[in-house]
Structure 1
Amino acid sequence: MTRVLNFYILRRHIAGLLMALSAALILVLVSDLVDLSGRIADGVQSAPPVLVMALLHAPSILSETLPFIVLLGSLAAFLRLARTSELVVIRAAGLSVWRILQMPVLGALVLGCLAFAVWNPIAASTLSRYEVLKSRHFDGQESQLSISAEGLWLRQADADGQTVINASRASPYGDELIGVLIFEFDTDGVLDRRISARRAVLTPGAWQVEQARIWQMDSAGAFAMVHGVDRETVIVPTDLTTSRILESFADPQELSFWNLQEFIETLESSGFSSTRHRLYMQTELAQPLMFVAMVLIAAGFSMRHVRFGSVGVRILLCVIAGFGIFFLSDFTKALGSAGTIPVIVAAWVPPIAALLLATSLLLHLEDG
């Protein structure tokens, strides 16, 4: 009997979660379509596939709001059980709150694991494709920076052609490159000049390339060295800034959870800070605990007998508690990204705090 009851509660809980997820998906798609359509009205480089872009963007937005979806879905499921007096009957049969929540909590743990193991790679893939389309149709350009095992790659274009810069390492803010190779292409895409240097420093409007060797293409189409290491500093014009370089990094959300560790190691070996990516990975790992906390908070505000006029207040208090947890999460993430507190603390304090709040609510419900 208990087994049948557990699966019945789990089924009702899953129904509530699916209802909340469907509502969130519709809201996200509508808001994204309105936003993208507004950009079209302002004028774009070319006509974008708006519906496709909205669908590609939706998984990443839903990924950010999954804890809140779990909270609202659980609240809807438990309120429905309370409204039909099923909770009263279950409690009268001698089952405690903890026994009733056994399957929803287990389901939240499984859902949290699936969120970073399965949903995250899907959302990362679709977001990457969305960003490519967005850059192509709205910004008129694609990413200017990439990092691989071969080092850092920068691309910049102007009226005279295109310049590609490769560096083995960089300073944490991207304003100094070490072990530099610069390839300059003309407007036809033909390689015109190559520069090899020990160091390049970013100044307003230009790269100052120090101790440069320069190879220039001659009339026969062959490269010949025209300057050696004693050459004065070479100036390579650029419109890049340190902020634009750092913003061009792959957003953590565009990386699959399973590729994060490798990218973090590549970032660190290139000289850049990996704090943002390490924080994102720890936050993803903390998702199961956060989901459990959301289920318990929803239960704490909804698993009482429905009385006239009290349901709306409890829903409001539950939503306020959820926003409070998300505010705390954003606050600790900001501190973690700035290096003020350790990444582990920034990622794990919000779900632990939410779990403590939920436990206190349920203890009051059970024993108070």
Structure 2
Amino acid sequence: MNRIDWIIVRRLASNVGLTLVVLFGIVLLVESLNTTRFAALSATGGAPLALTAVALAAARWIIDTLPLTFLVGTVAGLLNLQATREMTVIKASGRSVWRVMIVPLAVTLAGGVLVTLLVDTAVIQFNRTLSPSSTTSGEVGRSGTLWLDEQQGDVHYILEAGYVNPSGTALGSVNVFLMEAPRDRIEAATAELVGNEWVMAQATRYRSNEMPEAMTDFRLPTARTAGDMRARIASIKDMTVWELAGSLAARLTDSRERAETETRFLRLLALPLTLCGSLVIAFAFTAGYRRTNKYGGAVLYGIVLGVLVYVVTEMAGRAGGAGVMHPVIAVAGPAVVAIVIGVTVLLNREDGRT
């Protein structure tokens, strides 16, 4: 990285950072308007806990809208370079826009990887520490109780567990309601997922008009895997990239859960590529030479295109999560299209061909 590259990266980074700070402040203000949640958290752990929770919620918003925010910040940085004629001097030195864009692309790629692997993970972990109940979904209620309704062959039962291990393979305070006659009820202190069975080392069977019967090594068949359980006890959006990878590696049998998990996992992995698409679009619409400093139309086109790409990305992500579209196409498609559009515009404006 030479001095010119350093100037460009520093100018773009400062404007992107300023944009993120401004948006973070706005989202922070919006989140603080939820007075009910703020009061509940303040009663639990005081004002510091409530403020931290609000800040973490705002951080999640920033990460979710990062491609669009990054586009706006990059456009502002390039306009700054144009207004001071620094971009004109850089091009006059013999550097093409392609050469100018190489180092910012590399920095953007590295920053996207950092956000995916570290920043997003840290925000989720802190949010989980402050409000564990907010990360539960599916069959897990606010109280932490798990309900499973399953039928395997002739065995139909509803399982209730008062405690669920984060791995999803160990349960505590278990009650099993057998739905077939004579409708027995099974109580057990613990249950573990071993292979395709829930294994209860010590259990008690309750049957109408009969004395309770103690049992050992009681087993119930199940089609759920460790990956299924991990996906069901936590909200997909509140799982880190490492946990998503673990769920996929644990063989998800539920097609809906697998589609949601795979789409979320690939979206995190594709974040660097999406940010690169935003950078290319910003360069395509604002890095060109102008005799005057009137860039209103170019900026408007760039931001509108960025918003369009963001909306398409969200819609494709929902389609991938619902299983309507293959997750790889749903995630990589919008990012690749954004890069292709940006490169096409640059070729037309800089090299005079498409």
Q: Name the TM tier (shorter chain).
A: 0.7 to 0.9
Question: CA 1:79/1:224 → structure 2, altered by over 3 Å: closer, same or farther?
Answer: closer
For the residue of structure 2 that corresponds to 1:260, the secondary structure is helix
In the alignment, is the contact (CA less than 8 A) between 1:59 and 1:122 conserved in 2?
A: no
Residue 207 of structure 2 corresponds to residue 227 of structure 1: yes
Residue in 1 that maps onto 2:28: 29
Residue 260 of structure 2 corresponds to residue 276 of structure 1: yes
Q: CA deviation at 1:333?
A: 1.3
Q: CA deviation at 1:272?
A: 6.8
Residue in 2 that maps onto 1:328: 312
Question: CA 1:212/1:118 → structure 2, altered by over 3 Å: closer, same or farther?
Answer: same
The share of aligned pairs that are identical, in percent, is 20
* Distance in 2 of aligned mates of 1:308 and 1:22: 30
Question: CA 1:215/1:333 → structure 2, altered by over 3 Å: closer, same or farther?
Answer: closer
Q: CA deviation at 1:297?
A: 0.5
Residue in 1 that maps onto 2:97: 97
Q: CA deviation at 1:365?
A: 2.1
Match 2:269 to one of 268, 278, 285: 285
Residue in 2 that maps onto 1:295: 279
Bigger relative contact order, structure 1 or 2, given CA contacts below 8 A and separation 6+?
1
Residue in 1 that maps onto 2:70: 70
In the alignment, is the contact (CA less than 8 A) between 1:60 and 1:127 conserved in 2?
A: no
Q: CA deviation at 1:357?
A: 0.7
Residue 303 of structure 2 corresponds to residue 319 of structure 1: yes
Question: CA 1:271/1:182 → structure 2, altered by over 3 Å: closer, same or farther?
Answer: farther
For the residue of structure 1 that corresponds to 2:323, the secondary structure is coil
Residue 1 of structure 2 corresponds to residue 17 of structure 1: no
Residue in 2 that maps onto 1:364: 348
* Distance in 1 of aligned mates of 2:174 and 2:112: 50
Map 1:82-93 to 2 at 5 A: 82-93=82-93
Q: CA deviation at 1:265?
A: 4.8
In the alignment, is the contact (CA less than 8 A) between 1:29 and 1:58 conserved in 2?
A: yes
In the alignment, is the contact (CA less than 8 A) between 2:174 and 2:187 conserved in 1?
A: yes
* Distance in 2 of aligned mates of 1:315 and 1:308: 14
In the alignment, is the contact (CA less than 8 A) between 1:60 and 1:253 conserved in 2?
A: no
The one-letter amino acid paired with 2:342 is A
* Distance in 2 of aligned mates of 1:144 and 1:12: 43
- 1:167-188 deviations in whole A, cap 9, x for unaligned? 5x858xxxx976846679xxxx
- 1:79-126 deviations in whole A, cap 9, x for unaligned? 111111111111111111101111111111111111111111012123
* Distance in 1 of aligned mates of 2:342 and 2:255: 42
Residue 51 of structure 2 corresponds to residue 51 of structure 1: yes
In the alignment, is the contact (CA less than 8 A) between 2:124 and 2:239 conserved in 1?
A: yes
Question: CA 1:326/1:182 → structure 2, altered by over 3 Å: closer, same or farther?
Answer: closer
Question: CA 1:344/1:4 → structure 2, altered by over 3 Å: closer, same or farther?
Answer: same
- 1:110-156 deviations in whole A, cap 9, x for unaligned? 111111111110121233345448x6xxxxxx94767xxxxxxx568
**Which stretch shifts more, 8-17 or 291-300?**
8-17
Map 1:195-206 to 2 at 5 A: 195-196=175-176
In the alignment, is the contact (CA less than 8 A) between 1:83 and 1:306 conserved in 2?
A: no
Question: CA 1:348/1:183 → structure 2, altered by over 3 Å: closer, same or farther?
Answer: closer
Unaligned runs of 5+ in 2: 164-172, 189-202, 211-230
The one-letter amino acid paired with 1:53 is A
* Distance in 1 of aligned mates of 2:174 and 2:100: 70
The one-letter amino acid paired with 1:125 is Q
Question: CA 1:366/1:250 → structure 2, altered by over 3 Å: closer, same or farther?
Answer: same
Question: CA 1:96/1:178 → structure 2, altered by over 3 Å: closer, same or farther?
Answer: farther
* Distance in 2 of aligned mates of 1:215 and 1:249: 21
Q: CA deviation at 1:362?
A: 1.1
The one-letter amino acid paired with 2:76 is A
Q: Across the two proteins, how many residue pairs are aligned to each other? A: 306
Q: CA deviation at 1:253?
A: 2.6
* Distance in 2 of aligned mates of 1:37 and 1:325: 34
Question: CA 1:319/1:177 → structure 2, altered by over 3 Å: closer, same or farther?
Answer: farther
For the residue of structure 2 that corresponds to 1:52, the secondary structure is helix
Q: CA deviation at 1:256?
A: 1.5
For the residue of structure 2 that corresponds to 1:101, the secondary structure is helix
* Distance in 1 of aligned mates of 2:181 and 2:330: 39
TM-score, normalised to structure 2, is: 0.73
Q: CA deviation at 1:264?
A: 3.8
The one-letter amino acid paired with 2:21 is S
Match 2:294 to one of 310, 315, 325: 310
Residue in 1 that maps onto 2:234: 250
Q: CA deviation at 1:334?
A: 2.0
